[in-house]
Chain A
Amino acid sequence: MARLALGTDDLVDNPTPRVPVSLCLDTSSSMSGSPIQELVRGVNLFYDAIDEDEDAHDSAEVNIVEFNSSAGLVHDFASIERLQRISGLAANGTTAMGAGVNLALDTLEARKATYSGSGVLYYQPWLVLMTDGAPTDNIDSAVRRVVDLVEAKKLTVFPIGIGGGADMKTLARFSPNRDPLRLDGLKFKEFFEWLSRSVARVSRSTPGDSVKLDLEGLAGWAEL
């Protein structure tokens, strides 16, 4: 038998497949006060939870898009190692939800192109849309893009209504396969912890898996 001594040079060190997650957050003036503070706290807990999970830690890449009178990128996609905890978000202006969703989708497409260009495998991207109100801009093109992607199984979307004032009918337009969720009170912490666990489930999936999200796990804090 030939001598069998395999070193690291004999093997391929492939990168872990990535799960790109875009948090598309309403930072309009109605979010001022405790909602925006709780949202920031929830996002940071999300980062902590991802950091603590072995699978999510290696695979999750998160960005934040905010929308108020216009849309903007709070920070671009980064692995949890490079993500700085956010110190705060300013709440002001109107609710340009269409612009926000379009920007979030653009960032997801750009990230996928980056993965493809560098030979990194990836899972279906996630869009988490959170708002406490109703859009003040035209959302038609954003809705069409999201629905087309979801129906083509190229996007997982979580439209989340915050509080009693969220326009759930509008959010439902973004979610052809399941009803949007309404947070029960301001339980961002529970939502983001659930989201982190769900990212971990995806990153543990193997080829052929259609990952079933544990939506029942939301029952304690959200209306389905």
Chain B
Amino acid sequence: MFKEFHHQARGLSHLRDGTPVQDRTKYLSRGGVQVLCLADGAGSASHSQFGAQAVVDEGCAVLVERFDEYASSNDGVQVKVDLLDRLAAKVTATAERHGVPPDSLASTFLCVAVSGNRFLGAHVGDGVVGYLKHGDLRSISGPDNSEFANQTTFVTSGRALESMRLFRGALDGVHGFILMSDGTAESLYNPRNGELAAACTKLINAVGTAPGRQSKNSDYKKRLRRLVNITIRNATKDDCSIGILGRVVPS
């Protein structure tokens, strides 16, 4: 059993420009599967916030539906194809509703799902997925950038399938997971050595040991939101989103 925290904060440049937050996060728990998704809408895409919402909605839906199938499949390529098809179909439908081409809804996609003693996840584009296992903080999937800082791959990109990274494993010794967009990664990830900041351990442990029943406005969530809205957001001009699963430690 994991507790969750997810949040997106509007970047300082978006505040200045009057543009909306283009990051989206979502958590869904159903049928013993817990799913956390995060998407960073492309700044250059006119409707990217709708695309980001579409892929986190669909990502949560497909992973609770098909967790067992995906987690036990040995055909990773087929899992990637299935997952990407579902995301792309949702983006296309959303784009049609808005009367714009699908690439106007370009976004990245990061997810982690846990059930029983297994986890799986996927990642397209930049941002970082990490986990805390046996007390060691590790990056599972780092940013997929080209040579330049402002280029990456999106769910709607031609090379999305090629770019998608899929991972799975047993939950033995895993204390939690952390997902972050590139804005958040400016404070929590070092691209020079691929290591996560020590703060990630504290954040994962804080979520896992949060008291009482979960609610949208519990004190611990307020404190975490404040941390993202102030400390992490002030280190970048970009939107900042984060998703955390923290394993509940039996008392």
Contact = CB atoms under 8 A, between A and B. Distances in A.
Interface of A: 1-2, 4-6, 9-14, 17, 55, 112, 118-119, 121-124, 154, 202, 204-212
Contacts, number: 111
Secondary structure at chain A's binding surface: helix, strand, loop or mixed? loop
21 contacts: A2-B209, A6-B227, A6-B231, A10-B198, A11-B235, A12-B197, A14-B186, A17-B150, A119-B190, A119-B192, A119-B193, A121-B148, A123-B150, A202-B150, A204-B237, A207-B42, A207-B108, A207-B126, A208-B150, A208-B154, A209-B44
Given A205-B44, A207-B182, A4 B224 contact: yes
A17 B106 CA distance: 22
Interface in B163-205: 182-183, 186-193, 197-199, 202-203, 205
A10 B200 CA distance: 8
Contacts of A1: 206, 209-211, 220
A175 B129 CA distance: 40
A14 B143 CA distance: 14
Given A11-B187, A118-B192, A123-B148, 5 more contacts: A4-B202, A154-B147, A206-B239, A208-B106, A209-B150
Contacts of A13: 235
A208 B43 contact: yes
Contact of B152 (A2, A202, A207): A207
Contacts of A5: 202
Nearest to B219: A1
Given A4-B224, A11-B187, A11-B199, A209 B42 contact: yes
A209 B17 CA distance: 15
Contacts of A205: 43-44, 150
Given A1-B220, A11-B197, A206 B150 contact: yes
A5 B226 CA distance: 12
A198 B114 CA distance: 45
B29 interface: no
* Max count, chain B CB within 10 A of own CB: residue among A1, A5, A207: A207
Contacts of B202: 2, 4-6, 10
